[in-house]
Structure 1
Amino acid sequence: MSYQKEWLLLEANDEVDEMEHRDPSEEYRFYRAVADGDVNAVRHNCELGRFREGEGVGQLSRDPVLNLKYHFVITTAMVTRLCGQHGMELEQAFRLSDFYIQKLDDLHTADEVCALHDEMVMDFTKKMRKNLRSDTNSKHINEGKDYIYAHIKERITIEDLADELGVSPSYLSRLFKKETGMSVSAYIRQQKIEIAKNLLRFSDSSLIDIANQLAFSSQSHFIQQFREVTGMTPKKYRDESRLNPWDD
């Protein structure tokens, strides 16, 4: 019997799950809170344990842990797309989504899945809050940021970026400065330093490895650029961040 016929038979015999599903507007308000960077609202939702509540969320699997994992994937997909529509670089959004969904493979209890859910939605929310504070509406600038994010470990020139976007380097330079307040090269440097900061905080990679990974011309060049952006050397930043690695 085909699945379609099986469904029609269940429906005709009134044997389908009669659980009333949660009002979609409630779920949408939650997704929008994430996309709007509303940290307090999202944190409050997590504290209430709404993700774990069985009432109104539907049963996707008879296994309670697998059921939560399915709902986790749905939530992540919705959050990813809504954040992408509201200013997050699409490449960043999809990579972040892939990262958290893959983490489900290592989880085996409902508590673990719920904890990952809360961390995931808070991560997206905090990133959106940061993005929206400096949001731009230009299609070229948003696409340019996507390209920079996707190629951050390469050497990127304004000529490369302009060619990718189909505009002239001079036009892109003026537009970028107007909408972001900084030059293309300064923005690329800033993004590379942000990645470097995470590597310094959460990995044991050496300075030369980080410099090479992010396509700086040399270790000394990396140290110089890092100091100009952050006001401290990479070593000092690593030493201080290790004291409180999760400080935002």
Structure 2
Amino acid sequence: MTHHSDLNFLEDLFLHTASLCLWRFSPSFELEYSNSLTVAPLKNIFTLSSSFQYMQEHFSEKNTPVFLFDDLFFLWAAVPESVNDSLHAVYLLGPVFSSTTSDSYVKEKMDIQNMSVKSQKTLLDIIEQIPVMPTAFFSRYICQLYYTLNGISLSTDQICMQTQTAMPVAHTKKEEASAKHDSYFLETQLLKNIEDGVLFSNFSSLFASAQIGLMCPGDPTRQKKDEAISSTTLFTRAAIRSGVPAETAYNLSDYYIQSVEAARTITEVIQITETMYSDIVRHIQAIRQSTATSSLVRDCQAYIDSHLTEAPDFEQLARELGYTKYYLTTRFKKESGMTISEYLMSRRIDYAKTLLNNPYMNIQEISESLHFSTPSHFSSVFRKLTGMTPTEYRKTLH
């Protein structure tokens, strides 16, 4: 049975440090309590969605926490409390966004749901208060709550994921076939958003519930890995079409494919794919923000981006572009607002953030791969640009 003082403390901690609300459902899935200030509209969104049905089906078979994605764009987590191996209560955490959500996407989803103008206005007001929290971070709160409720430690790879949207029992063969392959329109829209540098809201939900063909029957983890690799290939091509240097895009692709292959669970695969997706979109956003600069400066930036793990020769670059090194560095500073060295360090630190996601690389290896003189120099530059050391940053990821 739950220690109520511990649960109350955890509830306050979640609410005041992460704006994370707690909901309690009875074993028959009746809402008994919530500390949310907007209970009615959020309750309606969740309980009327397919996630509510999926949650009931999940706990009829399992007693492990599960990520849930409702019919709009919210991410939730359901955590069971068990007494004598029987379901005593279900605690719901959320909602949160797994990535930044655009207003246009929110409005589009509300139109699809045929929400009234008044309901839309209410929901848009609520959305401003909902935190953005990647699933990797959200997982930690789930583990803490599960331990408080059951006195049992839980690892993040034990958290289940809603793998499909609940469907009516009676459906046609045509619907079954369409469920096996993502909508071509959805794929086209997703790739267009990537090329435009716009984060697609609820990406984790889309990828978790998608099935790009039946590539590996009988092995769901291998199936999801193959889907992730296919997505990485598509996203890499979209990045190159958007102006990301091919070498940069392929380096990212290689890293994330290796990370996917090293993953042990479906949850890990989804988290890695979500990170890959956000990383590629950030690179495209950076390219688009630099379009105001001249082709000379863009060529210089592209050269730096493709030589982050080398010692770039700017004398040689200037000669190849037909200018002196002095002219190149002066023009670069005037248009970009930073020196070439500052830009190089900034891009290396951005790439270091990607490498820090790889638990098999230590700080010294990352420092050496990015041509820092010493690990302490790398740490000093990293802290200057991010406000934390590489070790502190890695802890926020894992």
Normalising by structure 2, we get a TM-score of 0.43
- Whose strand proportion is higher, 1 or 2? 2
Please state how far the C-alpha of 1:121 moved relative to its aligned partner.
Answer: 1.5
Task: Find the counterpart in structure 2 of residue 24 from structure 1.
Answer: 184
Q: CA 1:88–1:162 in structure 2 vs 1: closer, same or farther (change >3 Å)?
A: same
Deviations 1:60-98 (A, max 9, x none): 343453333332222111111111222333322211111
- The match for 1:34 is 194
Taking the aligned partners of 1:83 and 1:160, their CA distance within structure 2 comes to 27
1:58 to 206, 213, 231: 213
AA at the equivalent of 2:274: D
Where in structure 1 are there 5+ consecutive unaligned residues? 1-17
Does the CA contact (< 8 Å) of 1:52 and 1:68 recur in 2? no
Identity %: 24
- Listed as ranges, the matches of 1:63-212 within 5 Å are 63-65=218-220, 66-136=222-292, 138-163=294-319, 165-169=320-324, 172-173=328-329, 175-192=331-348, 194=350, 205=363, 210=367
CA contact (8 A) 2:290 2:298 kept: no
Relative distance call for 1:140 and 1:28 in structure 2 (3 A) is: farther
Highest RCO, 1 vs 2 (Cα 8 Å, sep ≥ 6): 1
Q: Say whether residues 1:46 and 2:204 are aligned partners.
A: yes
Q: CA deviation at 1:35?
A: 3.4
Q: What's the offset of the Cα at 1:242?
A: 5.2
The structure with the largest helix share of the pair is 1
Letter paired with 1:132: R
Instruction: Write the distance in 2 (CA, Å) between the matches of 1:112 and 1:217.
Output: 34
| 2:15 corresponding residue in structure 1 | none
Contact 1:73 1:101 in 2 (8 A): yes
- Equivalent residues of 2:197, 2:285 under 8 A apart: yes
User: What SS does structure 1 have at the residue aligned with 2:396?
Assistant: coil
Contact 2:356/2:394 (CA < 8 Å) preserved in 1? no
What letter is aligned with 1:161?
A: L
- CA offset at residue 154 of structure 1? 3.9
C-alpha change, 1:186 and 1:115, in structure 2 (3 Å) is: closer
Q: Distance in 2 between matches of 1:199 and 1:61?
A: 29
Determine if contact 1:158/1:185 at 8 Å carries over to the other structure: no
Q: Which moved more, 1:86-95 or 1:109-118?
A: 109-118
The one-letter code sitting in structure 1 at the alignment partner of 2:190 is F
